[in-house]
Amino acid sequence: MTETLKPENADQVLDAVKWAVSEATPLEVRGSGTKEGFGRPVQAGRVLDLSGLAGISAYDPGELVLTAGPATSMFEIEQALDAANQELAFEPMDLGSLYGLGEGTGTLGGVIAANLSGPRRIKAGAARDHFLGFQAVSGRGEVFKSGGKVMKNVTGFDLSKLMAGSFGTLAVMTEVTVKVLPRPEKTRTVLLFGADDATAVGALCHALGSSFEVAGAAHLPAAVAARSNVGYVRDAGTSVTAVRVEGPGPSVEHRCTALRDLFGKFGPVEELHSMNSAALWREVRDASFLADDWIEKQVWRASVPPMQGAGVGAKLRAALGGEAFYDWGGGLVWFALDPRADAGAAEVRAAINDCGGHATLVRAAADVRQAIEVFQPQPGPLADLSKRVKEAFDPEGILNPGRMTAGV
């Protein structure tokens, strides 16, 4: 049983990291532990449990900015934002269902450290685009900050971008500031039934290339659609392609009509209103189609040029069997396969190489994640630069060693 250090404030985080450096004892940095299965397993002498650094320290809805401890639960964040009719526009994914854990248990720091974004990524940007600044302790055992608590800032290097998606390997964040935005007044979803993957992705890209400000664009092949809890989707008996529009009432109605016309050329269409629409996009966001009796399947998540999405999905199915579904207008391919010792890594990399992009093994047993590259392998010079960046923050390899790449 690994001993856990549980600092209660930023000073204690500093003490813990300084001690770890002096003892050459790596730390596994942890918020609430919901993303333990994401990335490579960390071999560390101690767990640094940040759950004591929780709570919203500043939130003025009029400023569109929120500052909180890194371990503040997403449930608490969402409750506070809800009360002011605001939200995190990047629609952070909740990994709970994918890993068979409860919902809302992830932390804000974890969402940032994994750069988790949902369906609205295509319109509003990723977690990294809404991450304004932070305080942290580097792997050198030094306190530093970057960014700020205002929305527009180019003072110094934008280290926030680097921290987002670094999986705790560069520094331990002790305070984070994010941009928040008003919740859209109204949301509706237009569904297209029966399109094959290629036709669907073409239709989605067409919609995204329109001026109708599409805020969600997903395609569920029949086998995946059948796993939805939304009746219209589950009982369709065929594939379901969905676009979401949000905004003031009259605008949403106008754009829905236009998108129904656009989709109507490809097959029968339907419209989902508030409750059903929200439920469907929550499923897409959390990839919850891949939960329950599919929980044993291994899951890849690939970001590719949108128009190439269907082709990547076809190649993966041909090489490995399994099921795919698509978000981000085809640009995000979720792929689930029956467990293999190598998780089909070579086939996945080959499918991505042809079009450019990156794939991450999001769910697999620890020994599989230990044995293969979980994140996209980088060409030599880029890998070297990434290693130098790691060393610039954590020269002794104290923080989450091996989480992203073996030996880094």
Partner 1 sequence: MQMPEPDQGVIDRRAEIVAAMRAIVPGEGVIADDAMLKAFECDGLMAYRQLPLIVVLPETTEQVSRILKYCHANGVKIVPRGAGTGLSGGALPLADAITLGLTKFNRVLEIDYPNRLAVVQPGVTNLGITRAVEADGFYYAPDPSSQIACSIGGNIAENSGGVHCLKYGLTTNNVLGVEMVLMDGTVLRLGGKHLDSGGYDLLGVLTGSEGLLGVITEVTVRILKKPETARAVLLGFNSSEDGGDCVAAIINAGIIPGGIEMMDKPAIHATEEFVHAGYPLDVEALLIVELDGPKVEVDHLIERVDEIAKAQGAVYARISNSEEERAAFWSGRKNAFPAVGRLSPDYICMDGTIPRGKLAHVLQRTAEMSNKYGLRVANVFHAGDGNLHPLILFDANQPGELDRAETFGADILRLCVEVGGVLTGEHGVGVEKRDLMGEMFTEDDLKQQQRLKCAFDPNHQLNPGKVFPMLHRCAELGRMHISRGQVPFPDIPRF
Q: How far is the CB of 293 from partner 1 (least distance, A)?
A: 30
CB-count burial class (<10 Å; 0-12, 13-18, 19+) for 117: buried
Work out whether 247 is an interface residue with partner 1 (CB under 8 A): yes
Q: In the structure encoding, which two tokens stand for residue 305, read together?
A: 């040029």
Residue 53 or 236: the one with the smaller Cβ distance to partner 1 is 53
Q: How far is the CB of 189 from partner 1 (least distance, A)?
A: 17
What is the layout of strands, in order, in the sheet containing 171-179? 56-60, 65-68, 171-179, 131-138, 143-147
Work out whether 235 is an interface residue with partner 1 (CB under 8 A): no
Classify 389 as helix, strand or coil: helix
Query: Given candidates 3, 275, 293, 407, which one binds partner 1 under the rule CB under 8 A?
Result: 3
Binding mask 186-225 for partner 1 (x = CB under 8 A): ----------------x--x--xxxxxx------------
Q: How far is the CB of 358 from partner 1 (least distance, A)?
A: 3
Query: Given candidates 104, 128, 340, 370, which one binds partner 1 under the rule CB under 8 A?
Result: 128
Instruction: Look up tokens 């974004």; give the residue.
Output: 117
Residue 227 or 301: the one with the smaller Cβ distance to partner 1 is 301
Work out whether 378 is an interface residue with partner 1 (CB under 8 A): yes
Query: Given candidates 38, 328, 334, 335, which one binds partner 1 under the rule CB under 8 A?
Result: 328
Q: What is residue 376's DSSP assignment?
A: P
Work out whether 59 is an interface residue with partner 1 (CB under 8 A): no
**Amino acid, res. 229:** N
What is the layout of strands, in order, in the sheet containing 269-272? 269-272, 186-193, 240-247, 214-220, 323-327, 332-337, 298-303, 358-363
Q: Which residues within the stretch 144-163 sit at the binding site for partner 1 (CB under 8 A)?
A: 144-146, 148-162
Work out whether 51 is an interface residue with partner 1 (CB under 8 A): no
Residue 4, number of CB atoms within 10 A of its CB = 12
Cα–Cα separations (whole angstroms), residue 249 to 35, 123, 129, 301: 37, 19, 27, 34
Cα–Cα separations (whole angstroms), residue 402 to 50, 136, 302: 20, 20, 21
The answer to whether 116 and 93 are in contact (CB under 8 A) is: yes
Q: Which residues within the stretch 60-89 sit at the binding site for partner 1 (CB under 8 A)?
A: 60-65, 85
Residue 104 or 397: the one with the smaller Cβ distance to partner 1 is 397
Work out whether 362 is an interface residue with partner 1 (CB under 8 A): no
Looking at 73-81, 222-230, 268-276, 299-307, which segment touches partner 1 (CB under 8 A)? Answer: 299-307
Cα distance between residue 322 and residue 320, in whole Å: 6
Query: Given candidates 34, 97, 117, 174, which one binds partner 1 under the rule CB under 8 A?
Result: 117
Q: Which residues within the stretch 389-408 sit at the binding site for partner 1 (CB under 8 A)?
A: 389-393, 395-396, 404-405
CB-count burial class (<10 Å; 0-12, 13-18, 19+) for 157: exposed
Cα distance between residue 373 and residue 288, in whole Å: 24
Count of residues of this chain found to bind partner 1 when the rule CB under 8 A is applied: 110
Work out whether 248 is an interface residue with partner 1 (CB under 8 A): yes
Alpha-carbon Rg of the chain, whole angstroms? 21
Residue 226 or 258: the one with the smaller Cβ distance to partner 1 is 258
